[in-house]
Chain A
Amino acid sequence: QKEVEQDPGPLSVPEGAIVSLNCTYSNSAFQYFMWYRQYSRKGPELLMYTYSSGNKEDGRFTAQVDKSSKYISLFIRDSQPSDSATYLCAMSRTGRRALTFGSGTRLQVQP
């Protein structure tokens, strides 16, 4: 069983929709949670970084962490065609900086 599970998609939504992307994990030692966006043939770009539980908002993006359920989410409001990319969740535990990634969800925002 993978430590981090992420639905690969693809997820197709119309422009302006609210997008919800999710990951579940099994290792309760994870404390740091990240969301990366990756365009084709590019490297992962850090979008959101959260420590422990709670919410964090940055513009159109909101990250949520529910450690009791071992579940993290990324919400994108007013989605744009430029948001079309693969979204990767990643996490790590205290004392070890190695990131454990989900497999990524491919998002397509239709104009």
Chain B
Amino acid sequence: EAGVTQFPSHSVIEKGQTVTLRCDPISGHDNLYWYRRVMGKEIKFLLHFVKESKQDESGMPNNRFLAERTGGTYSTLKVQPAELEDSGVYFCASSQGGRGGNTEAFFGQGTRLTVV
């Protein structure tokens, strides 16, 4: 079974440009999450989709970040315009649906974003 897949693995863009990151979750996983790790900091939650709906977007830093999950399958995270402080590693994770409690989240390999 394929794991969580992220594209691209690495992106270098100039300040002010737009970048779109893609995540393909594990097949059948209703829950999809975005996290990021900026230099020297811990991994931080950005947002959570249940199927195509945003369940929790409390971690999104500002309105330059836009996440979508078309048809409840893959997801994209767009940064527009990118700023220097957006550099870091962006992780996507997915988990099965679960009533009440939590379920294990499985992570992709991450997209390393460098804004210059």
Chain A residues in the interface with B (C-beta under 8 A): 2, 4, 31-32, 34, 36, 41-46, 49, 51, 88, 90, 92, 94, 96-104
Contact = CB atoms under 8 A, between A and B. Distances in A.
A101 B42 contact: yes
Pick the 6 closest A-B CB pairs, nearest first.
A43-B107, A98-B45, A101-B43, A32-B102, A103-B42, A43-B109
B99 to A, nearest CB: 11
B63 interface: no
A74 to B, nearest CB: 15
B62 interface: no
B43 A88 contact: yes
B92 to A, nearest CB: 9
Nearest to A32: B102
B108 A43 contact: yes
B61 interface: no
Interface SS of A by simple majority: strand
Contacts of A2: 42
A103 B101 contact: no
Interface in B2-32: 4, 6, 31
Contacts, number: 65
A99 B103 CA distance: 11
A43 B91 contact: yes
A97 B105 contact: yes
Interface string B97-116: 00011101111111000000
B74 interface: no
A77 B31 CA distance: 33
Contact of A96 (B6, B56, B105, B108): B56
A99 B36 CA distance: 12
B81 interface: no
A36 B44 CA distance: 14
B104 A46 contact: yes
Contacts of B33: 97-99
A36 B43 CA distance: 12
Nearest to B59: A98
Contacts of A99: 33, 35, 43, 45, 105
